[in-house]
Amino acid sequence: MSTYHRRTYLVPPEHEDAFTAELWWRGILGCEIREEGERLRLDAYLPDPLPRAFASWSLEEWTSRGVEAEAEES
């Protein structure tokens, strides 16, 4: 049985493509995107252990654009 992590983000629609592309580059296995109010809820699934590119990543650049980390689940 595989173990994975799920990270949930709230993303402004205008940043959906760029933010999702960065998540793929950092090693996600897949994602689900749903509308939630004026933003999108993005659930990203990652392998365990986390890819190095993801584990060392700071969300700082994206929080200044309105992206919010909402939940982390293993």
Strand partners, 43: 8, 32
Instruction: Give dist(CA 48, CA 62) in Å, integer.
Output: 24
From first to last of the 74 residues of the chain, give the pLDDT tens digit. 578 999 999 999 999 999 999 999 999 999 999 999 999 999 999 999 999 999 999 999 999 999 999 989 88
| pLDDT for residue 15 | 98
pTM above threshold 0.85: yes
Cβ-proximal residues to 21 (8 Å cutoff; 6+ apart), any chain: none
| pLDDT for residue 24 | 98
| pLDDT for residue 1 | 59
Query: What topology is assigned to 4-73 in CATH?
Result: Alpha-Beta Plaits (3.30.70)
List the domain boundaries for the chain: 4-73
| pLDDT for residue 46 | 97
